[in-house]
Amino acid sequence: MCVAEHWRYDGYRWKQVGQSRIPRKNPQMTKLHYHIHQPTGLSKEFRKYVYKVPAHSNVVVVQYIGNETVAVDFPHGNAKRHVNFVPTAKSVTDQMSNKTTKLCDLRINTVNEPEQYQPRNTNQ
């Protein structure tokens, strides 16, 4: 499983609003800025900062700041049904594209994982 990108799939809907380098003169680290996405737009009440070290691509620090209760589930963009949108992690879709992995085996292995790490159907 490709766990290096699992920080992206935390169950919230984020919008990246910026990026900075730390320190500015001789950057050793990159800081990604995210605001929570709500039906009415972006909110600064709940934020996420992701610190990445370019020299070590598998090292990531995620920091959450603010009130988590402002995050609400809602349908995606042009949805015709009122079904909340939960993206599937890329590691799950990569495993499903592997011809040797069966959907039933993958479902058994991920039964205790959060919804975004479980396969939903064969069309994925």
- In tens, the pLDDT along 62-110 reads 999 999 999 887 777 776 776 666 666 666 666 666 666 666 666 666 6
pLDDT of residue 74: 78
Q: In this structure, is residue 62 part of a structural domain?
A: yes
pTM: 0.65
CA angle 77, 82, 87 (to 5 degrees): 55
CA pair distance 6, 29, nearest whole angstrom: 19
pLDDT of residue 1: 33
Residues 26 and 67 both lie in one domain: yes
Residues 113 and 59 both lie in one domain: no
Q: In one letter, which amino acid is 99?
A: K
Residues 113 and 68 both lie in one domain: no
CA pair distance 88, 119, nearest whole angstrom: 7
pLDDT of residue 32: 95
- In tens, the pLDDT along 22-41 reads 998 888 999 999 999 988 89
Q: In this structure, is residue 83 part of a structural domain?
A: no
Q: In this structure, is residue 78 part of a structural domain?
A: no
CA pair distance 23, 45, nearest whole angstrom: 26
Residues 7 and 56 both lie in one domain: yes
72, 99, 115 — which closes off a domain? 72
Sort residue 5 into left (φ over 0), alpha (ψ -120 to 50) or beta.
alpha
Q: Residue 34's domain spans which residues?
A: 3-72
Q: Taking a C-beta distance cutoff of 8 angstroms, is the pair 40, 46 a contact?
A: no
Q: In this structure, is residue 80 part of a structural domain?
A: no
